[in-house]
Amino acid sequence: MRFVLCIVIAALLPASALAATDGVAMSLSSAQAAAAKGDQKAAAAVQTTTSREGCMSGCDARGYSKNKCVEACRPGLCHPGAETPYCVSK
């Protein structure tokens, strides 16, 4: 019984760890810390830092509402789980 429980926990752990970071915005400093620890998505987001204006323009071009764009393009916010990971400069 313990063996089966260990297998179930081991199978679920990677999925839950991925779910915790995908699609979740984080601060620029958190993304930099995660990148320093080896998080490839965070590193890609930090390397793809854009201005707020550039973020708003790209968001609008993708057809998102202005409210959603304003929320997503806050200065200092990173989106490592996005299709193209990015951060918005402060």
The pLDDT of residue 8 is 33
Cα-flanking dihedrals φ and ψ of residue 87, to 5°?
-125, 155
Task: Spell 46-77 as b/e; 16+ CB within 10 A means b.
Answer: beebeebeebbebbeeeebeeeebeebbeeeb
N- to C-terminal Cα separation, the chain: 52
0.75 exceeded by pTM: no
Length of the chain: 90
The pLDDT of residue 3 is 37
Mean pLDDT by 10 residues, the chain (90 residues): 37 34 80 95 95 95 94 95 92
